[in-house]
Structure 1
Amino acid sequence: MNNERSTQIRLARRPVGWPVHEDFETVTVDYDAPAAGEVRVRNEFVSVDPYMRGRMNDVRSYVPPYQLGDVIAGAAVGRVVASAADALPVGTAVLHQHGWTDVIQADAAKFRAIEEVPGLPLSLRLHMLGMTGLTAYVGLTTIAGMRAGDTVFISGAAGAVGTAAGQIAKLLGAGRVIGSAGSPEKVALLTDKYGYDAAFNYKEGAVRKQLANAAPDGVDVFFDNVGGDHLEAALASMNDGGRLALCGAITAYNTTERPVGPTNLANMITRSLSMQGFTIGSHWDKLPEFTEQMSGWFGAGKIAYDETIVDGIDNSVDAFLAMMRGANTGKMLVRIGE
């Protein structure tokens, strides 16, 4: 295989508030035959994730911002279709961070070969068997120090990380797991499919009151994907010695005004609480432990998952905007056709 055309989605300008289509541009790139040490990969699935919104801003964060004209980098999984690198022959399934593109050609060192699990789609490497699941596992174990019998509250529970975190908490022995979601259908899914003991629709009333009703004996661990009123509600319900793992704050990602913080942070003192933010990039050492655990749970049929799939690399922006507005159940993915 010699020449091939790649379609790529790049950052055209920095969004102000909610991103719009004009903040992105679609370009095509023609690849010659791979040079020595290079491979060409045709993606099968591309990930869209909340953290990408932060990288569109030119501000200090845990990862450098996208530069104007950059491809929207992020996780993708595909297969080698042309190779000039012995370590990655044609047909190898690979995981990489080249993001929103249908075809990518680069040095073989930028790709990681992955084992294909019979009966499971490659897309799982972008969520339950990948960074999403690892994030949930680390947040509960390393950051929050979850113990058997704990009452655990997870915000944004019907999203990719939330559906993983709820199941992992139950499998690790949580006494009660509570989740918040944004529709009656998602609330029902949490209890019917994902093993949550209780769930509520945050759009139907004050989060603080709904959480207090769902957790009359208080909360020991809070896994936060949302921030804002959810964090304030958790602080009001935390038991003495409770632990809060801050994974995301999606309510603030697109605001153009200074977000309002919790008014009850004094509870951190009076209840001897521990609150820690984290990003998964500092915890890759936990990957082997997580992979062994999650593979065992999958093998035993103990893990459920949902995927919300949008077809076509040209629809990546639509998928991203829909995910940011909560239109997904489980992991939002872009599927790349032939």
Structure 2
Amino acid sequence: MSATLKGSNSSKLQVSEFILMGFPGIHSWQHWLSLPLALLYLSAIGANTLILITISQDPALKQPMYLFLGILSVVDMGLATTIMPKILAIFWFDAKAISLPECFAQIYAIHCFVGMESGIFLCMAFDRYVAICHPLRYPSIVTNSLIFKATLCMVLRNGLFVIPVPVLAAQRNYCSRNKIEHCLCSNLGVTSLACDDRRPNSICQLVLAWLGMGSDLGLIMLSYGLILRSVLRLNSAGAVSKALSTCSSHLILILFFYTVVVVVSVTHLAETKATLIPVLLNVLHNIIPPSLNPMVYALRTKELREGFWKVISLHLGKK
């Protein structure tokens, strides 16, 4: 498909849509990847919906840790839905065209949801810190009001914080090329097509990432450092094991989330041309955490597993 251009003279030609080509280097057989990606998407939507239903129906799960998990489930479903319908449309219906406003809106949504996921991880780390280091004060500190304010803060922070990313991308001059070697509209992938200097976009994304997710990661590490110090002071091996068990699920998800963020960022900045591995990692980073989070919590949290079975048994009993 050739570039669609608009403008009255050649010096002001501007593309009116982008073409998402999919995974670079494997265009001829990339449609086979639609099956595992579709299964991951269905798993993410189904598992996170089950978590929300379980938390809403089981009174024993009306605790801050599970309320934060419910909020994380909403964010996960939003992140997966931001990218997967378009990716599947590309593979199944060859619907590769995407308008500029839709593309910039997707850039905004991806950055917003990824930032919110990072913020919710920080809230969950703070919850575990208070629960382990200040157990007697926990009910008075981590209240429903605090959960609401923290969630609102995360939504507003990331909703406003990432606005410069799509705004700067929209200000670039896209005068000729419009084929993006990607399945989604990534900021650096889109701005690499610009005819003018894209360094402001790269610098903006790097600065915002360090200010947002970088500060979240720093505070999460501080929280777990304080938790570790407090746990090591305990004389009871059973208490140590229980304290570490309550944090293990969260740590697994945090390590995966931030490790992939760092790898994707480094490979995107290092590569001058889109290659398969960074593009694939970028897609998987937006779909695997929404699929993985419910499974990790379900496997490692007894109360949540019991809640799942209660909900499933209740609905099966009605049938």
**Larger-gyration structure (1/2):** 2
Hey, which of these two has a bigger chunk of helix by percent?
Answer: 2
Greater RCO (Cα-Cα under 8 Å, separation 6 or more): 2
Hey, which of these two has a bigger chunk of strand by percent?
Answer: 1
Q: TM-score, normalised by structure 2?
A: 0.28
